[in-house]
Structure 1
Amino acid sequence: MVTEEQVREYLSEYRDPFLKEDLVDAKVLKSIEIGEKTVEIVLKLGFPLGEYEQQLTTELGEFLAAKEPTVSFKLDVSWRVDAHVHPAKVQAMPNVKNIIAVASGKGGVGKSTTSVNLALALSALGANVGILDADIYGPSMPIMLGMQGKNPETIDKKSILPIESHGLQSMSIGYLVKPEQAMVWRGPMASGALQQLINDTQWKDLDYLIIDLPPGTGDIQLTIAQKIPVTAAVVVTTPQDIALADARKAVTMFNKVSVPVLGVVENMAMHTCSNCGHEEHIFGQGGGDALAKEIGVELLGSLPLSLNIREQTDAGEPTVVKKPESEVTKRYVDIAQRMAAKLSLEAKDFKASFPSISIENT
Structure 2
Amino acid sequence: MADNSLLKRLDGLVSRFEEVATLITDPEVIADMKRFVKLNKEYHDLEKIVNTRLAYIAALNSIEEAKTILETEQDQEMREMAREELDQSVNRLPLLEEEIKLLLVPADPQDNKNAIVEIRGGTGGDEASIFAGDLYRMYVKYCENKGWKVAMTSYTDGTSGGFKEVIFTVSGEGVYGILKYESGVHRVQRIPQTETQGRVHTSAATVAVLPEAEEFDVEIKESDIRTDIFCASGHGGQSVNTTYSAIRLVHLPTGITVQCQDEKSQLKNKAKAMIELRSRIYNMEYQKYLDEISSKRKTMVSTGDRSAKIRTYNYPQGRITDHRINYTIYNLSAFMDGDIQDCIDQLIIAENAERLKEAEL
| Structure index of larger Rg | 2
**Structure richer in helix, relative to its length:** 2
TM-score normalised by length of structure 1: 0.31
TM-score normalised by length of structure 2: 0.31
Higher relative contact order (CA 8 A, sep 6+): 1
